[in-house]
A and B are shown apart, each in its own frame.
Chain A
Amino acid sequence: MEKTWNNKAWFMVLPVLLLVAFSAVIPLMTVVNYSVQDTFGNNQFFWAGTEWFTEMLTSERFHSALGRNLFFSFIILLIEIPLGIVIALNMPRKGWGVPVCLVLMALPLLIPWNVVGTIWQVFGRVDIGLLGHTLERLGINYNYVQNPMHAWFTVIIMDVWHWTSLVVLLCYAGLVSIPDAFYQAAKIDGASRWAVFRYIQLPKMNRVLLIAVLLRFMDSFMIYTEPFVVTGGGPGNSTTFLSIDLVKMAVGQFDLGPAAAMSLIYFLIILLMSWVFYTVMTNYDAER
């Protein structure tokens, strides 16, 4: 059969193009549009150029929200990754314990985020919450509404409770893929428990750990719902992370220009981080 040469095939990608246009390109361009203009009532727009971007990049408020967010991501990675590994290492490999552990681990992941926030909001309350009440009885003046340290403590514990399971499940998947022969050979080579972890288990978990770090970083960097429900960003601005700040600025203060500039910068940071992770992972694969 003779091949026909024309450009009709482009119509095939039209639905996808339309979909992407409506779901991503048009909203994004709207944001870009806001970010370079100043808005007044009556739909009056004035060209502002890079003014909002300069303002954002030099603003104390943006810097501190970014700093808080990076610190938050750093802390939860520091806790969730090692904790996830430790739990995965101690999970049973066979028998009735396997399904029980897997279900228990999956439970927090299945709970909607605002419900998680509500659970911890109530859990931490001094009057009716188990955690808050117990801490108070122990003589600790726990109050996440007024004490920034306590608010941070609550938000971090909540995230650890919610998301460590993900790290556990990923690590566990990596661990069960290791054939028995490796453990037997290690025994014969006289390897210590630490050497088995360092030279057999950790290298096998490497890949899934990278994915876990990536997912946990992205999610925590974009965290909104849970801290919003628990602390609302307070006390003061102490738990105001980037997304909370963004919403405050855009919806609360209706500063569309700066908010648009901020969300673009936010977006570019995430894009940059994804690219770094992607490069690290593909390099790692190429090396294998």
Chain B
Amino acid sequence: MARIDLNHIRHAYGPNPKSDKDYALREVHHSWEDGGAYALLGPSGCGKTTLLNIISGLIHPSHGQLLFNGQDVTNLSTQERNIAQVFQFPVIYDTMTVYDNLAFPLRNRGVAESEIDVKVRETLEMIDLASWSGKKARGLTADQKQKISLGRGLVRSDVNAILFDEPLTVIDPHMKWVLRSQLKQLHQRFGYTMVYVTHDQTEALTFAQKVVVMYDGEIVQIGTPEELFERPKHTFVGYFIGSPGMNVMPVKLAGGTAQIGGHQIQLPTPVTPADAKKIELGIRPEYIRIGRSGMPVKIAKVEDIGRHKIVRTRLENQDIAVIVGEGEDIPADPHITFDPKGINIYADSWRVGGN
């Protein structure tokens, strides 16, 4: 297990990158703790797989240094880095049995056959495929195959880190949940350093202790699921996490209040941003109350999703989503109020204040 330091890592796929636009990974400078479970969350093309492949050594970064436990591994090969990685689509060796598939990474490293046997049987138990060990791997279902891919990572107990690249994409929803909790258990039992790439927020939030949100080649926020939900550092985090995402609206700041059109909103703490081009207020639908007093809105649509209702309202020219409990009713003449606890202020998309 290792602590991973990403030292000013930048990466461009094309030669001679000039501007920031040429970089798939603009700049990443962070430390990931030994034994931590991290999720890399972000939309397609934000650079999360690039970052993962840089850690595993499949890609050599254009700039920067990668350290495992303080040792520079930037120029080491994947084998030398001793990393396990599980890919989006199951990779199995068709012609081998399930047992041999798991033994493969150990045999390649010249581990003694007796030790291999112990490790493989242990791993087979873990991934619940013990009764399949003698079967050829090609006949298995997609999730069994993916379990084998996982198993090949877990069988090497001395790895520096285990990396997952959207490993549950091909798994059906029920198995997803089971595998995810198995991974979490494994993490608690063995303390692997785990990095998990996904674009699914539920997956990220349930798996990880720390979620790393990436956007446009940059890490925009690293935090616990709660921090990401309550205090998104960037409006993108607000949009991306939560369902529906955060309401973000342009405002004017004046002293301790924010102005939306003709309405004044009292801020919990006064904010005086440096000259920013764009000031926005962000508030999650969970923190908006609907009632008879406050700012008058029009209701565009009500989506009843069972546990609660999502009310799509319009405040002047601004779309605002509100979450209303199943039992609550919506008055004929609706008004909304913002709970001060949920208010965040953004200057040029970055959080500058709020509660």
Q: Which residues of A does B touch, CB under 8 Å?
A: 179, 181-182, 184-185, 187-192, 195, 199-200, 203, 288
Write the nearest CB–CB distance from A186 to chain B, whole angstroms: 8
Provide the bound-state CA to CA distance between A102 and B105, in Å.
35
Contact present for A190 and B105 (CB under 8 Å) = yes
Q: By CB atoms of chain A within 10 A, which of B57, B77, B94, B138 has the most?
A: B94
Contact present for A189 and B108 (CB under 8 Å) = yes
Which of B39-47, B78-86, B196-204 is near enough to bind chain A? B78-86
Provide the bound-state CA to CA distance between A199 and B77, in Å.
21
Contact present for B108 and A199 (CB under 8 Å) = no
Contact present for A192 and B108 (CB under 8 Å) = yes
* Chain A residue nearest to B53 in the complex (CB): A184
New contact pairs (6) apart from A190-B109, A199-B96, CB-CB < 8 Å: A184-B85, A188-B56, A188-B78, A190-B108, A191-B108, A199-B93
Contact present for B91 and A185 (CB under 8 Å) = yes
Pick from B78, B94, B109, B138: contact of A187, CB under 8 Å: B78
Provide the bound-state CA to CA distance between A181 and B79, in Å.
16
Contact present for B87 and A185 (CB under 8 Å) = yes
Residues of A within 8 A of B77 (CB): 187
Is B114 an interface position by the 8 A CB rule? no
Contact present for A185 and B108 (CB under 8 Å) = no
B94-108 with Cβ < 8 A to chain A: 94-96, 104-105, 108
Contact present for B85 and A199 (CB under 8 Å) = no
Write the nearest CB–CB distance from B86 to chain A, whole angstroms: 8
Residues of B within 8 A of A184 (CB): 53, 58, 85, 87
Residues of B within 8 A of A185 (CB): 85, 87, 91, 149, 152
Q: Which residues of B does A touch, CB under 8 Å?
A: 53, 56-58, 77-79, 83-85, 87-89, 91, 93-96, 104-105, 108-109, 138-139, 149, 152
Pick from B83, B87, B93: contact of A181, CB under 8 Å: B87
Residues of B within 8 A of A192 (CB): 108
Write the nearest CB–CB distance from B236 to chain A, whole angstroms: 28
Write the nearest CB–CB distance from B112 to chain A, whole angstroms: 16
Known: A189-B108, A190-B109, A191-B104. A179 touches B89 (CB 8 A): yes
Known: A179-B89, A190-B79, A203-B94. A288 touches B138 (CB 8 A): yes
Write the nearest CB–CB distance from A175 to chain B, whole angstroms: 15
Residues of A within 8 A of B95 (CB): 199, 203
Known: A203-B95, A288-B138. A188 touches B88 (CB 8 A): no
Provide the bound-state CA to CA distance between A188 and B53, in Å.
11
